Amino acid sequence: MNLLRTPIRQHPKVSLRQTAEARHWDGYKRIKVEDEHAKISCVSFAKEQPFDFAVAASARVRLFSGQACAPSKIITRFKDNVHAASLRSDGAMLAAAGDWPVVKVFETQTKAQIREFRGHSAAVQAISFLQDDLKVASGSDDKTCKIWDVPQQEEIATLKGHTDCVRAICNSSITDVITGGYDHKVKGWDLRDPKCTWTIDHEHPVEAVLALPTGSLLATAGGRFIKIWDLTSGGRLIQTLSNHQKAVTCLCHHSSDFLKGTRLIAGSLDQQLKFYDLDTFEVNHSIRYPSPILSCGISDHKKFPVLVVGMLSGALSIKRREAKLGLPQEDTKDSLLFRPTPPTTKQGPRVGSTRYYKRGVRYQPTDQDAFVANKRKKKLQQYDYFMHKFQYKNALDAALQSAHPNVVTSVLDELMQREGLKIALADRDDKELLPVLSFIVKHVTNPHHADILVHTANIIIKLYGDVCRHSSVIDDLLIKLKGQIKAELKLHENMLEIVGSIQLLASNNVP
């Protein structure tokens, strides 16, 4: 005769499915965390191999090797804090400036200062090499952007038009120079006849501007918002992204062989680094850092890119995507450095060994396989055995030994249906009552089990309310249970107040 088993409660599981995008970004493993003496204000990558990068913090700029991700050189020839630094596309030159309103250009191989440009009257907040790598643009708190000719050692133009300090600079294939300032404006400039050709209003102080790979799209960041503009349509707003809780401070983009399309990467003071799909403008992934993010950058390497994030606390996070077996690789120096060991040919188990006789244990059947039903009788669980013997006290003790909340609550539910819960809880001393109360205290705030456990606790109080003071352990557990229930009720009251406030706000916004 087949005896009925206690039905185990099933609750919906929290989805832990990891998307392909999340697996890709989780593949970036942290190499090291460098600590600077002050906030890291700028991270700049070279666009050509070996993709070296520069990090500006305090009154120095550190140069890192793109292969080893370790400091290679330190440039300290600054009188004050450095706010901006830019590597030329080949990494051979570095332009940097800061509180001291002088733009300096260095040769990265020898650390020699080869140019010094004076002309700004206030601190320089943004700097960038232009597309021809022969000119440098610098934005300052004096509300101007100046263009410097590196070979000729002279100032080419002064771009005036902002009514507040210039905080961001970039360039694209369509516009020579793009500037953004705290006057909420983003302006495009034509260097052939230095003048402003277009202006767009971001509506918040602009912290970063970034020309996307297509050349026709521009991303601007200011406040909590990132806005995407179409420059070929006269600066038409395409999308507004408002996924951050605090001001967005930095932008960069990345595309690789592992991703479909280009990703926009944004760092914010809310400690979040978010990755946006530029095809759908949705957040595909986010990484939380221990401190507000001030700067970020990622190398253009297609196989082993390096992700660098600079924080307000002075921490510098360096991550690199790990190599995977079976991926085609080019015979470059860096790919040879990170090339994984080729897999060895897997041999079968030795004949006569234990593994040999266990072959096929994990075989997954196909539609063509014949299925033979297994009619073997399943063994009853210990609590089911006692339940069918009407030994309710032993059944409850056996369920508690399993330590699985769903099993215990299912047995309690079954005892309630049989009107045997009071029998299972009666005639217990303090040692036998201890595991029951401990389980209730631990799981009573879980909404999946609260209804049964509250009912069980009420029965225990009715049975042992007069004698619970005789045991200090049971008394302490009951006091703890009372405190947890009061805290849970207070939480529910606060949540109801929040829901009421949200409904009131929503009703006011309805036309």
3-class SS at 329?
Answer: coil
Q: For residue 50, is the peptide bond before it cis, meaning its omega torsion is within 30 degrees of 0?
A: yes
In this structure, which amino acid lies at residue 396? L
119: left (phi over 0), alpha (psi -120 to 50) or beta: left
Q: Which two tokens stand for residue 61?
A: 């700029």
Lowest mean pLDDT among 3-17, 116-130, 431-445: 3-17
Q: What does each C-alpha distance from 437 to 256, 441, 456 come to in angstroms? A: 56, 6, 9
Span of 51-55, 72-76, 304-308, 471-475 with lowest mean pLDDT: 471-475
What's the pLDDT score for residue 428?
Answer: 87
pLDDT the model gives residue 346: 59
Query: Comparing 367 with 384, which gets the higher pLDDT?
Result: 384
Please check the confidence at residue 511 and state whether its pLDDT lies above 60.
no
Angstrom CA distances, 199 to 161, 185, 210, 217, 400, stand at: 10, 7, 15, 14, 70
Look at residue 286 and tell me whether its pLDDT is greater than 80.
yes
The pLDDT of residue 168: 95
Instruction: Say what the pLDDT of residue 159 is.
Output: 93
Kindly provide the b/e burial profile for residues 290-304, where b requires at least 16 CB atoms within 10 angstroms of the residue's own CB. Answer: ebbbbbbbbbbbebb
86 DSSP β-pair partners: 95
Query: Regarding beta strands 166-170 and 71-75, do their DSSP bridges make them parallel or antiparallel, or are they unpaired?
Result: unpaired
Give pLDDT, residue 6.
Answer: 79
Apex 59 CA angle, 55 and 60, nearest 5:
40
Give the closest residue to 168 by CA, choosing from 148, 147, 145, 201.
145
How far apart are the C-alpha atoms of 484 and 476, rounded to whole Å? 12
Strands (E), 100-255: 102-107, 112-118, 124-129, 135-140, 144-149, 154-160, 166-170, 177-181, 185-190, 195-201, 206-211, 217-222, 225-230, 236-241, 248-254
**pLDDT computed for residue 325 by the predictor:** 37
Does residue 172 register a pLDDT over 70?
Answer: yes
Confidence of residue 193 (pLDDT cuts 50, 70, 90): confident
Average pLDDT over residues 111-136: 93
Q: Is 264 strand, coil or helix? A: strand
Number of residues assigned to the chain: 511
pLDDT band per the 50, 70, 90 thresholds, residue 158:
very high
pLDDT digits (tens, 9 = 90+) for 308-346: 999 999 999 999 987 653 333 444 444 444 444 455 555
- State the Rg of the chain over Cα: 33
- 392-421 pLDDT tens trace: 999 999 999 987 888 999 999 989 888 888
Q: Give the per-residue pLDDT at 327.
A: 38
Question: What does the pLDDT read at residue 344?
Answer: 54
Distance CA 427, CA 425 (A): 7
Mean pLDDT of 190-197: 88
Q: For the segment 431-487, what is each residue's pLDDT rounded down to a tens digit?
A: 888 999 999 999 988 888 888 999 998 998 888 888 877 888 888 888 888 898 899
Average pLDDT over residues 290-305: 90
Average pLDDT over residues 251-261: 84
The C-alpha torsion from 349 through 350 and 352 to 357, rounded to 10°, is 0
Q: Which of 423, 426, 425, 420 is nearest to 439 (CA)?
A: 425
pLDDT of residue 478: 87
Mean of the pLDDT values across residues 213-232?
91
Model pTM score: 0.65
